Amino acid sequence: MPELVDSISCPKCGGPLRLATGEVIVTCPYCGTASRIRGDKPFLLRHGMLAARLDRAGAEAAIAGWMAGGVMKPDDLRKASRVTSLECVYVPFFVFEVDATTSYAGVITRTGTNERRSGSLVRDYFWKILGRRSGEFPTREYKLPLAHKVPFDTAGMVPGSRFMNAEMDEEEAARLVREQVEAHQRELLKDLVDVVEEARTSIDVKDAEFLHAPIWFATYAYRETSYGLVIDAASGEVVRGEIPPPTGGFGEFLRGATRGLLGR
Ligand SMILES: [Zn+2]
């Protein structure tokens, strides 16, 4: 359990809010209002959530399906494993809709001749920033399924689940999104020119939203070792699954590879 450092009231309904060290945006468990803890500015972002399609039974089925399929898994994974914990947590994200334009000039050397190039790289993104600093979450592998977005409503949460408060506010998240989008645009430039001589990126944040995404976190035991699984409760996809090292030698490897090729 996180240490509770403070006890304050919800600015909307007056309900008691509990928050842990480092949390700055707190969601009221009674009315669902998200509010900023420090400073006197109100928290202004739209607050959404993703509708969950996997309840507990659905998550258990997804785990069983993951264990039974795919490549490079021990043959007896499903039979010999036992789920030791399974919890649905609503994880906070900031989602920004941004237009990015990078004006660049550089040289192409890959053709053997030094050819000058200049132009504009124009992209638009839905970019997500995890609202937590601590703990491990596979943010890169996780594709926020925005099609499942609904307004935040505690009544719509998976029974027995909990939500996490955010450890950064929208201003800090906006700074991060600018840094990350600029770095990403720089990466894309590598396809266009080999030597970048000049690059200026302008980023226009068109929309920003605070979103809680339901994620099932599971651990399972296989041959006395514990492994983790992260499942997107909105899309039903396994975001990350730890696979025990294979034990069955080449036979198991080849069967696994065949299964993978057949797409089963
Ligand atoms: Zn409230």
Which residues have CB less than 5 Å away from ligand 1 (the ion)? 10, 12-13, 15, 28, 30-31, 33
Number of compact structural domains in the chain: 2
Give 180-210 pLDDT, tens digit per residue.
999 999 999 999 999 999 999 999 999 999 9
Cα(92) to centroid of ligand 1, in Å?
A: 17
Q: Say how many Å lie between the CA of residue 239 and the centre of ligand 1.
A: 32
202-261 tens-digit pLDDT: 999 999 999 999 999 999 999 989 999 999 999 999 999 999 986 655 555 555 555 555
Q: What is the CA(5)–ligand 1 centre distance, in A?
A: 19
More confident residue, 182 or 41: 182
CA 186 to centroid of ligand 1, rounded, Å: 43
Asked whether residue 197 falls in the same domain as residue 130, the answer is yes
The top-scoring range by mean pLDDT among 2-16, 25-39, 155-169, 240-254 is: 155-169
| Judgement on whether residues 13 and 103 belong to the same structural domain of the protein | no
Q: Residue 106's CB: how many other CB atoms inside 10 A?
A: 20
145 neighbors 234 (Cβ within 8 angstroms): yes
Kindly tell me if the per-residue pLDDT of 264 is higher than 50. no
Cα(13) to centroid of ligand 1, in Å?
4
- CATH number reported for the structural domain that contains residue 20 in this entry: 2.20.28
Which residue in 29, 53, 33, 51 sits closest to 43, CA to CA?
33
Per the confidence metrics, is the pTM higher than 0.95? no
Which pLDDT value is given to residue 257?
56
Do 193 and 137 share a structural domain?
yes
Which range marks the domain in which residue 220 is found? 45-261
